Amino acid sequence: MSIEYLPTEIITQIFLSLHDIASAVALSATGHRFHTIFHSPQNLVILSATAETEFGPLDDIIQLVTQNASQPAHIHRNVPISTALIKQVVHVGRVAQRWEGIYPFKKWRSDYASRRLLITEERYRVRRAIYRLWLFAKAFHNSSHVRTCRSIPSVVSTRAALLQNFSIHDLAEMYDVHQVMREVLRSNTCPSNGRMRVKYQSRYPDQQHGLMFNIHLNYPPAPSSFIPESWFHNSPSANLSSRNHQPSRWLDPGAEGWGDDITHYYVVEDMLKLDPEQIMHLRDHCPTKAHVETYVKEVGGEWFGNNGETFNETLSFVVKQRGGEMEELSGSVDDEELGVTAEH
């Protein structure tokens, strides 16, 4: 008997057991019955079940994509599944999946021996934390949150209301993933002067020239004055053809640092107001400091600069309210007693 003649319920079950939307779409293209059933009223049931498996938890995505200024972020929103909603779910879900892939590299950035791929349950937790941090950023890192209002008690308690919904395990997972985003900004997108110096030295060990940093000068140094000629010809990674098409921070590394320790710390605090998709955009499409600055000017505005993110301090507030200590929580996340990889 051809699989095409199976009862509708069984074919629906087959659809529901798929792990991702692409497979459901592919299956629907394999024959008339599959096509008909996929495009029947069952469609949304099938799509939401596969989206839950692939990108879930759907409920957290729904909280994120339906958040708007008409009600506080922490009020739970119920909306019926629609095709438009599924599209948003896929969009947001794909971003979260990228973070699943980055997590192991940043979590165990120096502890190579522990580095491993995440298991299904851990990937689910990374996505969930991403959706929740994203909601926090969407609701509280916007132009109505200027620097001067961050510690006003009513503002603090509005922010805290969102985090109060979560258990300490959930909060620790958010903190864990927040640290991973911080690390991407700190070391990849906005490297400090010191980090650029170290990277330069390990990339070009034979060069005697130290790097100079624009930030300490009142005028931009002429690149040719400190980039040795040999750089372009002898170094193993010199590749003029790709350099011409693809700007890189190695063209003018002295101009690429984002400051010394303290300045750099505040740069990262500012950047952490970006949402997970924006940070991913910086990582993928902004290879130089100038690119990053242009992008941030586009998505941010007057309020953005010198106005650090508020998740960490809000978390600290909520942890204290519950009688805990932030240091304890961050220590437990470091030791993997709490966080994405903890067993619970």
Ligand X SMILES: *[C@@H]1O[C@H](CO)[C@@H](O)[C@H](O)[C@H]1NC(C)=O
Name the residues that contact ligand X, by CB under 6 A: 63, 66-71, 74-77, 138-140, 142, 144-145, 158, 165, 239, 241-242, 312-313, 316, 326
User: Shortest gap between Cβ of 42 and ligand X (angstroms)?
Assistant: 26
Q: Residue 217 to residues 44, 213, 267: CA-CA distances in angstroms?
A: 59, 7, 18
Nearer Cβ to ligand X (67/341): 67
Tokens of 170: 């959930």
Query: What letters, b where the CB count within 10 A reaches 16 and e where it falls short, cover 42-81?
Result: bbbebbbbbbebbbbebebbbbbbebeeeeebbeeeeeeb
Dihedrals φ, ψ of 60, to 5°?
A: -70, -35
User: Shortest gap between Cβ of 256 and ligand X (angstroms)?
Assistant: 21
User: Shortest gap between Cβ of 282 and ligand X (angstroms)?
Assistant: 19
User: Shortest gap between Cβ of 313 and ligand X (angstroms)?
Assistant: 6
CB count in 10 Å sphere of residue 22:
12
Nearer Cβ to ligand X (101/331): 331
User: Shortest gap between Cβ of 165 and ligand X (angstroms)?
Assistant: 4
Nearer Cβ to ligand X (104/308): 308
Could you tell me the end-to-end alpha-carbon distance of the chain, in angstroms, rounded to an integer? Answer: 46
* DSSP conformational letter for 338: S
Taking Cα atoms as reference points, which of 56, 52, 59, 63 lies closest to residue 137?
A: 63
Q: Decide if 168 contacts 342 (C-beta within 8 A).
A: no
Nearer Cβ to ligand X (77/98): 77
Residues 6+ apart with CB under 8 A from 341: 107, 118, 122, 176
Tokens of 200: 């330069």
User: Shortest gap between Cβ of 79 and ligand X (angstroms)?
Assistant: 7
Nearer Cβ to ligand X (40/237): 237
User: Shortest gap between Cβ of 68 and ligand X (angstroms)?
Assistant: 4
Taking Cα atoms as reference points, which of 320, 334, 297 lies closest to residue 114?
A: 334
User: Shortest gap between Cβ of 65 and ligand X (angstroms)?
Assistant: 10
Nearer Cβ to ligand X (165/207): 165
Nearer Cβ to ligand X (122/309): 309
Nearer Cβ to ligand X (13/71): 71
**CA dihedral of residues 273, 265, 193, 331 (deg, nearest 10):** -100
Say how far apart CA 340 and CA 344 lie, in whole Å.
Answer: 10
Alpha helices in the chain (DSSP H): 8-16, 21-28, 32-38, 43-55, 58-65, 83-107, 120-140, 153-164, 168-183, 193-203, 231-234, 240-245, 261-271, 276-285, 289-299, 311-321, 326-334
User: Shortest gap between Cβ of 149 and ligand X (angstroms)?
Assistant: 9
Nearer Cβ to ligand X (142/188): 142
